[in-house]
Amino acid sequence: MGRTKKAGSKKVAPALKLKKTAAKPSKASKKAQAAAKAGPVVINRAPVLELWVAVVAERQGFSFDEGLTFGKLVAGWFAQSKGRALGIYERKEEPSEQKRQARERRDRELGVEHVDCFGLHCLALRVGNEMHAVADGKAISPGSVRGSLTRAFGDRLEDVKEAMETLAAAIPPERIGKVAYHLYERFRPEWHGWGVKGELDLGGLAALAQDWQAHV
């Protein structure tokens, strides 16, 4: 489960309560299996990762809206890393000590906290009763992420979410952060080039869920 602490501080705040979900479902969701029969979803990798991070975050005890903001943050990190590796984006220089200290001071003043989600250390701000991921010093809006995912997945959004939730439910909450990205590498759309869509096979997600249910 994610733990939080103030940016620039070593004190760790109490962990959020784990959401009570079945750790050992007896079989894959019938709805997820039916969705798999509808065929693959043709889509880019980024929205797939965004949605998977949100589902994993919910399994770790965050709300789904909180998870959406972490999904946007994490997918952005990986997209930038891939883009720099391909030479699409310029490699960023390490910030100077002065800039690093200024950024840390800004984060402390804003009340930014460090949150463990998806096996990564993320920056977040408390918005009402929720923790929203932070990018460039601003909290990410879950509504904007939800809208972009709806546009990306179209009428298959609920099918994919159901399949991902079935897989996440098969993995203990305390372990899912350690294996989440490895699992994503196994079911993500095949790479065909920057910006080129691939096929997301929901049958592959269902098979992974069944494997975990058989061994957990």
Q: Identify which of 27, 66, 13, 53 has the alpha carbon closest to the alpha carbon of residue 176.
A: 53
Q: Identify which of 9, 1, 2, 15 has the alpha carbon closest to the alpha carbon of residue 107.
A: 9
* C-beta separation of 71 from 47 below 8 A: no
Q: Identify which of 11, 10, 3 has the alpha carbon closest to the alpha carbon of residue 60.
A: 3
What is the Cα–Cα distance from 133 to 125, expressed in whole angstroms?
Answer: 6
Whole-number average pLDDT of the chain: 82
pLDDT tens-digit profile of 127-171? 999 999 999 889 999 999 999 999 999 999 999 999 999 999 999
Q: Kindly report the length of the chain.
A: 216
Residue 64 — pLDDT band, cuts 50, 70, 90? Answer: very high
Residue 112 — pLDDT band, cuts 50, 70, 90? Answer: confident
* C-beta separation of 48 from 35 below 8 A: no
What is the Cα–Cα distance from 2 to 18, expressed in whole angstroms?
Answer: 9
Single-letter residue type at 181: Y
- pTM tops 0.85: no
